């Protein structure tokens, strides 16, 4: 039976939520990933040293594999250099959200003014702390990421020594932008490599495919797929796996987020194999991230085999129910060990 072994797979953008939801979903990542960049948009947001360490401890209590490394982030706001020096060893990055643009981002940045943000960003440069950004405006939903490209460009030019991660990019414009400046990098999700807006809302609405940034056009999906398949050194996998309770997804006012953690590696192997690019999957899932974030790979490897796997219709525990992408469908690769 055909197998493939991935060395130290990392998820460079992950939502684990908290409390009972955390207990349910955290092991579904730690079972197959060696580590992940953990998003800080809880309620209240993770914006103090005490909050970072407490959240990390809750994650470690929840995971089934103690070799899993949760790489913590701070919710971006103006911080002093002294504060960042004190918390530096506990975090991997800061995450900037435009105010109100996505889940639990109401306390985000109202205006991305390079002069106003300079003290914090310059301190981050001195301490070698990357800046992760949810890059959308509050404009028309299909144009929000494209409209944010000028902000990325302004930040890249004003702070050329700042490492900027364009999170979960979804457009052809973003693929072009990340290659334009040396200090720009990007993550790409599983769903944005596979779907377009037509899959979400072209027929009957598919709530479990609805996320923000919303899936875009075919040409955008194809641009993302091409750069990911190429193993481009500035591109890494970040699932943006975002669990919501089933009742919050299958409802009026559907919550934004696609839950992909349990199937991410399997479907990525399927996708890269289909496009004859399996040799580049290791770069996308680990090697590029290690170089971009100056991380050392762990000894945790994951072997997959070409064997059909029926995706569960839901994952249930601790009173929570979460529906994954491709629920009830059959994919062609399974986790072996």
Whose CA is closest to 10, among 283, 337, 304? Answer: 283
Contact residues for 184 (Cβ-Cβ < 8 A; gap 6+): 152, 156, 164, 166, 177, 178, 234
Q: What is the C-alpha to C-alpha distance for residues 243 and 256, in angstroms, rounded to an integer?
A: 9
Amino acid 65: pLDDT = 67
**Residue ranges of domains in the chain, CATH in brackets:** 3-335 (3.20.20.140)
Q: What is the C-alpha to C-alpha distance for residues 92 and 89, in angstroms, rounded to an integer?
A: 8
B/e letters for 20-52, b = 16+ CB within 10 Å, e = fewer, are ebbbbbbbbbbbbbbbbbbbbbbeebbbebebb
Amino acid 299: pLDDT = 83
Q: What is the C-alpha to C-alpha distance for residues 76 and 293, in angstroms, rounded to an integer?
A: 18
177-189 pLDDT, tens digit per residue, is: 999 999 999 999 9
Amino acid 222: pLDDT = 98
> Exposed, middle or buried by CB within 10 Å (0-12, 13-18, 19+), for 80?
exposed
SS3 19: helix
Contact residues for 120 (Cβ-Cβ < 8 A; gap 6+): 76, 77, 78, 79, 84, 94
Q: Does residue 159 surpass a pLDDT of 90?
A: yes
Average pLDDT over residues 211-233: 98
Candidates 47, 173, 220, 240; catalytic one = 240
Average pLDDT over residues 42-49: 96
Give how far Cα 303 sits from Cα of 6, 78, 124, 268, 279, Å.
6, 43, 37, 13, 15
Average pLDDT over residues 259-284: 98
Beta bridge partners, 305, equal 3, 334
Average pLDDT over residues 127-136: 97
The residue with tokens 């702390």 is 129
Q: Does residue 122 surpass a pLDDT of 80?
A: yes
Amino acid 104: pLDDT = 86
Taking all residues of the chain, what is their mean pLDDT, rounded to a whole number? 96
Q: Does residue 66 surpass a pLDDT of 80?
A: no
Pair of tokens at residue 5: 């072994």
CA 253 to chain centre: 23
Per DSSP, the residues of 262-324 read GGHHHHHHHHHHHTT-GGGHHIIIIIHHHHHTTPPP-S-EEEEES--EEPPS-EEETTEEEPP
By the 8 A CB rule, do 193 and 225 touch?
yes
Average pLDDT over residues 125-132: 98
Q: What is the pTM of this model?
A: 0.97
By the 8 A CB rule, do 325 and 49 touch?
no
Q: Does residue 107 surpass a pLDDT of 90?
A: no
Structure confidence at residue 110 as a pLDDT band (50, 70, 90): confident
Amino acid 12: pLDDT = 98
Amino acid 234: pLDDT = 98
Active site residue 222: no
Q: Does residue 282 surpass a pLDDT of 70?
A: yes
Structure confidence at residue 286 as a pLDDT band (50, 70, 90): very high
Percent of the chain with pLDDT over 70: 100
């Amino acid at each position: 039976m055909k197998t493939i072994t991935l060395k130290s797979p990392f998820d460079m953008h992950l939502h684990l939520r908290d409390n009972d939801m955390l207990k349910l979903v955290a092991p579904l990542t730690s079972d197959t990933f060696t580590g992940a960049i953990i998003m800080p948009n809880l309620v209240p947001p993770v914006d103090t040293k005490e909050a970072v360490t407490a959240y990390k401890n809750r994650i470690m209590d929840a995971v089934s594999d103690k070799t899993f490394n949760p790489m913590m982030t701070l919710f971006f706001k103006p911080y002093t250099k002294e504060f960042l020096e004190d918390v530096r060893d506990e975090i991997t990055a800061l995450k900037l959200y435009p105010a109100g643009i996505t889940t639990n981002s109401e306390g985000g940045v109202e205006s991305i003014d390079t002069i106003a943000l300079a003290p914090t960003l310059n301190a981050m440069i001195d301490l070698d702390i990357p800046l992760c950004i949810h890059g959308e405006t509050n404009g028309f939903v299909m144009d929000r990421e494209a409209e944010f490209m000028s902000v990325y460009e302004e930040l890249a030019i004003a702070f050329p020594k700042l490492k900027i991660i364009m999170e979960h990019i979804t457009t052809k414009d973003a693929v072009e932008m990340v290659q334009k400046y040396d200090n720009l990098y990007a993550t790409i999700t599983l769903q944005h490599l596979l779907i377009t807006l037509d899959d979400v809302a072209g027929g009957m609405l598919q709530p479990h495919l609805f996320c923000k940034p919303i899936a875009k056009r075919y040409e955008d999906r194809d641009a993302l797929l091409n750069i990911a398949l190429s193993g481009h050194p500035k591109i890494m996998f970040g699932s943006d796996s975002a669990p919501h309770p089933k009742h919050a997804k299958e409802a009026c006012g559907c919550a934004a987020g696609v839950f992909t953690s349990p199937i991410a590696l399997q479907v990525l192997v399927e996708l890269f194999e289909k496009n004859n690019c399996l040799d580049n999957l290791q770069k996308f899932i680990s090697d590029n991230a290690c170089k971009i974030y100056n991380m050392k790979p762990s000894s945790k490897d994951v072997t997959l085999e070409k064997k059909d796997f029926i995706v569960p219709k839901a994952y249930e525990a601790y009173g929570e129910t979460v529906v994954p992408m491709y629920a009830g469908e059959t994919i062609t690769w399974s986790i072996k060990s």
